[in-house]
Structure 1
């Protein structure tokens, strides 16, 4: 996979997508650490099994949710799979897939490791936006956190 990172302010299309993602999730798309990632998978392009959350010991703000919008879908191949959940999804141009990476307590959801299967014919273009945990406080102040977990 080849990718490039773009800020929302660089593109009217990304601004529109950002507002739609906020409406769909109820969460802020303002992620100061990570702009949008635009990715391209050509013939044979794939991405191995990985999580989208950062490990708890990381000092980086964690990704509470992933959004993946398909700009161009391959003719064959390119399926997104969650092997630990037994789920596979074939997306078409214009589809957006959204999944959580963290529990409400902020713990990694380890079953969300996923992969992109190889593109066999055509190419696949996606736009990813990761919604950060820390940016949600202004919208979701009552969200349970890891701090609250110790108070149970």
Structure 2
């Protein structure tokens, strides 16, 4: 069990504005057990500014692939390759065709900009050392191909198309990584306010792999001791916000460094309400 000193340290640092993922990284570096880290952060968040922690895995009620191993989505047969119970996550095969993967890479190549994160204090976007990639954003329905992909993803995740943010394509060169972080907006941070106002909390993410790196580049869940190897056309779905607004701290995840070659992914985030 985590000592009282560490428990107090977690709460004190959350109250002064540190991000949950920064505290998790610091505790893991001290070789503290991952389950104890997740529980300590979740319990602390539950007592700060009304934030609530999820008590169980955040599987959406209508998400068929929580249990089913196959689903027909439009003209594609999507299959489950691997599944985690907590965080609620499934690795899916055949989500995108190879032609769609190539199209998204080609479409993005001339529009790349350094990737950013949300400032916890101001809500503005900023570059950080922990995220070494470049990306391109596309509005919903940018063109016929993207609109078709978004319709398929909405059917797959069982959420309306207008609950999704615009598609983001990301490129990692050799050595590029995204250190462990959360995709949801920490409700205790002032910088989250303007983002939560545009459609509520993020509830789930879908990472689509547009190529197969030669080595490395796995999507990792350090608190679950799990990693998923990118494979062209496959996708990783994971959910982290339950019906009460509770957030699952075990959804801490990252992109491991690309050891050889390069990595291309496309990400779709979905919200509680229509996204503006």
TM range, smaller chain = 0.7 to 0.9
Offset from partner CA, 1:13-33 (integer Å, 9 cap, x none): 22121111111111123247x
**Within 2, Cα distance between the matches of 1:118 and 1:134?**
34
**Within 1, Cα distance between the matches of 2:153 and 2:274?**
14
**Is residue 2:209 matched to residue 1:77?**
no
List structure 1 segments (4+ residues) > 2 angstroms apart after TM superposition.
none
What's the TM-score once normalised by structure 1's chain length? 0.82
Superposed counterparts of 1:3-14, under 5 Å: 3-14=135-146
**Within 2, Cα distance between the matches of 1:12 and 1:104?**
32
Count of residue pairs brought into register by the alignment: 135
- 5+ residue gaps, structure 2: 1-132
Shift of 1:12: 2.3
More helix by share: 2
In our comparison, the structure showing a higher alpha carbon Rg is: 2
For the aligned residue pairs, the C-alpha RMSD in angstroms reads 1.6
Offset from partner CA, 1:50-83 (integer Å, 9 cap, x none): 0000012432221111011111121111000000
What's the TM-score once normalised by structure 2's chain length? 0.47
**Is residue 2:227 matched to residue 1:118?**
no
Superposed counterparts of 1:19-34, under 5 Å: 19-31=151-163, 34=165
Give the number of the structure with larger relative contact order, counting CA–CA contacts within 8 Å between residues 6 or more apart. 1
Offset from partner CA, 1:70-116 (integer Å, 9 cap, x none): 11121111000000111110120000111102122111111101010
**Within 2, Cα distance between the matches of 1:29 and 1:90?**
28
Shift of 1:10: 1.8
More strand by share: 1
- 5+ residue gaps, structure 1: 137-152
Candidates 14, 17, 37, aligned match of 2:168: 37
Alignment-derived partner of residue 99 in structure 1: 238
Q: Is the 8 A contact 1:72 1:93 kept in 2?
A: yes
Aligned residue for 2:186, secondary structure, equals coil
**Within 1, Cα distance between the matches of 2:186 and 2:231?**
31
**Is residue 2:261 matched to residue 1:128?**
no
